[in-house]
Amino acid sequence: MDRRKFLKTGLASAAGVAGLVAGTTSLLTWSPRTHAATVNVNISAVAGDIPLHAGVDNVARSTYMLCFSSNSAPQFHGPTILCQEGDTVNVTLNNTLAIDTVFAVTGTGINESIGAGNNSTFSFTAPAPGTYIYHDNQNSGVNRVMGLNGALVVMPNSSNRSFNGGPTFTRQFKWALHCLDPAWGETLSADGHNAVNSINPDSFNPSFFTLNGFSYPETHNPDTDLEGNIGEAALIRLINTGGMIHSPHFHGNHVEITSVNRNNVTGERKEKDIVSMMPLDARDVIYPFKTPPDAWPAASGAQRYPMHCHSEMSQTTAGGSYPHGLHAGIIIGQSPATEPEL
């Protein structure tokens, strides 16, 4: 199945309106407002098969996952909750799983448990601006890695930055890093959802590696690839929802570290070509879209580069198919082709 269909048939999110954005979507658009609002979101916890990347040899396969979804079908990742600081977020969570689920938000005290088969509504006030992960934090992360996760993006009051006083940017992207071990899916499919309680987290041996649910070359779509003209800085909200330590490496430009788990850099920003990502980390970086500094003579025309994780096991699918893994494109000198449609 073509995962790209999600981009077209997924959640229609009008630009700049608080609410849910498909978890496979990278480009976020936002219009700041001066007042807080009430945001109502409906999320279901559902289980089912999610297609896995086919690899170079084009093998059709899928894995059983537990998902947060904006409808009754399994979705991976869960929808991104996009809102503004101070907003009242009302979440109606319909848990169709055979086990309790938890909606917890990193870096906050938000932690709601919803019983198996129950439907419950809870509210929270959108915390300080920044990038958060909402996740089912049970079983030392097993539930999260099985798919129960998504991003919570909180914009500041009145400004289109990642925090008031933060750097300006032309576009912002959310990139979720994840990895999957199909053996865990088989266990859940065969033994029932309760098996999450008995899976040893240390048995995790991932063989599929994704960015917003895609593996290269599916990431080569105008939404997931990082594209911009010279000077059109991008904010990238990197989150690691998976079960390995990632080391995303950016070609073309160094990135500027803007926030590390919502600790905002207010002075001069450190430049890195590697961003270390522990599980549950959220790191915001600026990709400046400068002309490549070491080109000789100066580069002309659009320049295509990769962003890939340097823990190179993540550059594979089912044990091979390099570089079909956690890898996306960067195009310096070209704006996203379908931008007006987004």
Q: Which residues bind another protein (CB under 8 A)?
A: 55-59, 140-142, 144-145, 201-202, 204-207, 209, 243-247, 249, 251-254, 267-274, 276-280, 292-297, 299, 303-306, 309-313, 315-316, 318-323, 329
CB of 36 to another protein, least distance (A): 32
Task: State which residue, 50 or 332, has the beta carbon closest to another protein.
Answer: 332
CA gap 270, 274 in Å, rounded? 11
Are 328 and 219 a contacting pair, CB within 8 Å? yes
Task: State which residue, 193 or 254, has the beta carbon closest to another protein.
Answer: 254
Which pair of structure tokens corresponds to residue 286?
A: 């600026």
Task: State which residue, 21 or 282, has the beta carbon closest to another protein.
Answer: 282
Is residue 201 helix, strand or coil? helix
Which pair of structure tokens corresponds to residue 251?
A: 């070609």
Contacts of 246 (CB under 8 A, 6+ apart): 177, 240, 276, 277, 309, 311, 314, 326
Task: State which residue, 87 or 136, has the beta carbon closest to another protein.
Answer: 136
Residue with tokens 């996203």: 336
CB of 164 to another protein, least distance (A): 21
CB of 114 to another protein, least distance (A): 22
Sort 308 into a burial class: Cβ within 10 Å, 0-12 / 13-18 / 19+.
Answer: buried
CB of 264 to another protein, least distance (A): 14
Task: State which residue, 50 or 330, has the beta carbon closest to another protein.
Answer: 330
Task: State which residue, 32 or 201, has the beta carbon closest to another protein.
Answer: 201
CB of 285 to another protein, least distance (A): 12
Contacts of 139 (CB under 8 A, 6+ apart): 196, 197, 199, 201
CA gap 47, 128 in Å, rounded? 32
The residues that bridge with 263 in the sheet, in sequence order, are 260
CB of 52 to another protein, least distance (A): 12
Which pair of structure tokens corresponds to residue 10?
A: 């997924």
CB of 87 to another protein, least distance (A): 29
- CA dist 288 to 6, 58, 97, 103, 150, Å? 29, 36, 43, 34, 26
CA angle 186, 281, 68 (to 5 degrees): 45
CB of 49 to another protein, least distance (A): 20
Distance in Å from the first CA to the final CA of the chain: 22
Task: State which residue, 33 or 61, has the beta carbon closest to another protein.
Answer: 61
Task: State which residue, 128 or 318, has the beta carbon closest to another protein.
Answer: 318
CA gap 10, 324 in Å, rounded? 24
